[in-house]
Amino acid sequence: MVGCFFEADAQWRSHHEGPRKTAFVRRSVRALASDLAALGIPLLVRKVPWFADAPAAIVELMQETGATHLQFAAEYPLNEVKRDRSVWRAVTGIGRQCTRHEGSVVLRPGQLLTNAGRPFTVFTPFKRRWISALSAATLEVVPSPEPQGEAIAPLSVCWDEAAEADDTAIWPAGSHAARKQLDRFCLEALQRYQKDRDFPGVEGTSRLSPHLAAGTISPRQVLNAVGLDGPIESSAYVNELVWRDFYRHVIAAFPHVSRGGSFHPHYDHLRWEQNPSGLEAWKSGQTGYPLVDAAMRQLTSTGWMHNRLRMVAAMFLCKHLLIDWREGERFFMEQLVDADFAANNGGWQWSASTGTDAAPYFRVFNPELQGQRFDPEGTFTRRMVPELKEVPDRFLFNPLKAGLTLNYPRPIIDHGMARQRAIDRYRNSQPNRSD
C-alpha cells in the first residue's frame, strides 16, 4: 500500500483558497505522513498544479509503484467532480480498479430525493429524509489501514515550515489533533451547545470546521461521537452537520452554483452597488458598526469567524452596502482556515437571500441589535475592537451616543436607509408572478 497526496496549488488559488487553508492542509499532510510511516506505509507527495493534470499523474504513479487499486474520497464542487470522473476513466482505462469513498458527507448527494424524485431545495424536509435514511451501515467509518511492515521514516516534503508556523498553535493539524478537539468539545461544550452557540464571547462551538474542511476528520466520525438520539444539545449540533450535507447536495445537483451563479437565477440581474471604499472598510473592520468590525477583525487575525458573525457580516455587505455577495464569498475563501466551497457558498447565498432555503429578502439584520443580543457584555467586541474598551455597555454597539472622543470611525451607512434601499432593490428584482 502506498499513500499519495496531490498538491494542486494553482487550482486552489484559482478557487481563492488562501494561505491559511493551504498551510493547514500541508501541516495535516505532514501529520498523515508520520501516521502512515508508523504503519510502514509511505506517503508520496506530488505537485499537480491543475486538476486536469491529475489523471495522467495518477496513472504514472500507479504504474511506477505497481499499484492495482486506487481509493479516494469524493468531492462535490463542479471542478472536483470533473476531475474525479477523469481520474476514474483513466485508471479503469488501464485495467486498474477504482473505489470512491464518501469521506466528506454523511449521505452522498443523489441518495436523498423528494417524493417527486428531485433534489431537495428546502432544508427542513431534507433534514427529515436525512435522519430517516440513517442506518448503522451509513454511519460506518472506514478503519485505519493495518500495518504492512516495520515503521519507516516519513518522507520529507519541500514545503517551507516557517511560513506555516504562525497558526500552528491556534489550529493544530492532523487526525490526532482533530480527534482531540472532538473529544474536548463532547466533554466540555456539547451539553451547552444549544445555549452557547450564538455567543462569540463564549467558547461554545466545536471548532472542528478546519478539520472537516481538510478531511482530517469525517462528519460520520463526528456524528458517531455526538450521537443522533441524544438530548436537545446534541441534536442542535447534529443540525449543523445536516446543513453541511445539505449544501453539498445542492452544489452537486445544481452545477450553475459552482459556476458563480445565484441559486435563483433571477437574482443574477439584481443591481449591485460599486463601492470600493465600502468594501475595503468592511474587509478591514472599519465600518463603524462594532459587531461587524469585530467579526471581520477576528477573520483576518485568526482565519476563522464565529458562525453567528458570518451571517451578520455577510448580510451587512450584501444588504447594507448592496455589494455583490460574490465579493464577500471570495474574501472569506481567501481568509478562512476552514475554507469550504459548499458551506461558504451556501452561507453567503443564505445571507444574500439568493440561495436555496435562504433568508427572505426583506430580512435585514440590525447590527446594533445583533450585538446587544449576542454579545451583551461586549466581551468579544471589546477584545477585537479595543478602541471601544472604555465605552459603556449601553452604548457599545452605537458608540456615537456615548459622546466620547474615540479613535473609531462613524458608521459608513445609516441602518434605516440601508434596510429600506435593500428591500426596494430586492423587491424590484423579483420575477413577475403573473407571467
Domain co-membership, 107 together with 244 = yes
Per-residue pLDDT, 435: 35
Domain co-membership, 196 together with 231 = yes
Q: Mean per-residue pLDDT for 153-168?
A: 64
307 is catalytic: yes
On whether residue 148 sits in a domain, the answer given is: no
Out of 75-89, 128-142, 210-224, which region has the weakest mean confidence (pLDDT)? Answer: 128-142
107 phi/psi in degrees, rounded to 5: -125, 130
Q: Mean per-residue pLDDT for 337-359?
A: 95
**pLDDT band with cut points at 50, 70 and 90 for residue 144:** confident
**Which one from 12, 171, 243, 304 is the annotated catalytic residue?**
243
pLDDT reading at 433 higher than 70: no
On whether residue 170 sits in a domain, the answer given is: no
203 is catalytic: no
On whether residue 155 sits in a domain, the answer given is: no
Domain co-membership, 388 together with 278 = yes
pLDDT reading at 4 higher than 60: yes
Cell of 333: 475563501
Per-residue pLDDT, 328: 98
On whether residue 227 sits in a domain, the answer given is: yes
**Which one from 224, 272, 275, 368 is the annotated catalytic residue?**
272
325 is catalytic: yes
Q: Mean per-residue pLDDT for 351-370?
A: 94
Domain co-membership, 244 together with 351 = no
Count the alpha carbons within 13 Å of 35 in the hemisphere toward its beta carbon: 16
272 is catalytic: yes
Cell of 179: 480527534
Cβ proximity of 275 and 355 under 8 Å: no
- As for how many domains the chain has, the answer is 3
Q: Mean per-residue pLDDT for 307-315?
A: 98
**Which one from 12, 282, 325, 350 is the annotated catalytic residue?**
325
**Which one from 80, 233, 240, 329 is the annotated catalytic residue?**
240
| Residue-averaged pLDDT of the chain | 93
Query: In angstroms, rounded to a whole number, what is the distance separating the alpha carbons of residues 225 and 204?
Result: 17
Instruction: Residue 64: give its domain's CATH number.
Output: 3.40.50.620
**pLDDT band with cut points at 50, 70 and 90 for residue 389:** very high
Per-residue pLDDT, 231: 59
**pLDDT band with cut points at 50, 70 and 90 for residue 83:** very high
240 is catalytic: yes
On whether residue 163 sits in a domain, the answer given is: no
398 is catalytic: no
Out of 122-126, 150-154, 415-419, which region has the weakest mean confidence (pLDDT)? Answer: 150-154
% of the chain residues with pLDDT over 90: 87
Nearest to residue 87, comparing CAs of 100, 105, 68, 76?
Answer: 100
**pLDDT band with cut points at 50, 70 and 90 for residue 154:** confident
pLDDT reading at 369 higher than 80: yes
pLDDT reading at 143 higher than 90: no
Per-residue pLDDT, 306: 97
Per-residue pLDDT, 430: 84
Domain co-membership, 95 together with 110 = no
Q: Mean per-residue pLDDT for 290-311?
A: 97
On whether residue 260 sits in a domain, the answer given is: no
Instruction: Residue 370: give its domain's CATH number.
Output: 1.10.579.10
On whether residue 192 sits in a domain, the answer given is: yes
The tens digit of pLDDT for each residue in 227-243 reads 876 655 568 899 999 99
**Which one from 224, 239, 275, 307 is the annotated catalytic residue?**
307
The tens digit of pLDDT for each residue in 38-82 reads 999 999 999 999 999 999 999 999 999 999 999 999 999 999 999
**Which one from 12, 130, 171, 348 is the annotated catalytic residue?**
348
Domain co-membership, 191 together with 126 = yes
Per-residue pLDDT, 147: 92
Per-residue pLDDT, 160: 59
Domain co-membership, 401 together with 307 = yes
Bridge pairing between strands 3-7 and 43-47: parallel
On whether residue 162 sits in a domain, the answer given is: no
Domain co-membership, 30 together with 125 = no
Q: Any idea what the Cα angle at residue 204 is, between residues 203 and 205, rounded to 5°?
A: 105
pLDDT reading at 198 higher than 50: yes
Residue 115 CA to its chain's centroid (Å): 30
Q: Mean per-residue pLDDT for 199-214?
A: 96
Cell of 113: 430525493
Is this model's pTM higher than 0.85 or not? yes
Per-residue pLDDT, 136: 81
Query: In angstroms, rounded to a whole number, what is the distance separating the alpha carbons of residues 369 and 226?
Result: 32
Domain co-membership, 62 together with 195 = no
Show the domain range for 285.
265-428
Domain co-membership, 9 together with 119 = no
Domain co-membership, 189 together with 275 = no
Per-residue pLDDT, 434: 41
Per-residue pLDDT, 161: 55
The tens digit of pLDDT for each residue in 7-30 reads 999 999 999 999 999 999 999 999
Domain's final residue, options 225, 253, 281: 253
**pLDDT band with cut points at 50, 70 and 90 for residue 316:** very high
pLDDT reading at 90 higher than 70: yes
Domain co-membership, 269 together with 414 = yes
Cβ proximity of 354 and 426 under 8 Å: no
Q: Mean per-residue pLDDT for 180-189?
A: 95
Cβ proximity of 68 and 96 under 8 Å: yes
Out of 184-193, 248-257, 315-324, which region has the weakest mean confidence (pLDDT)? Answer: 184-193
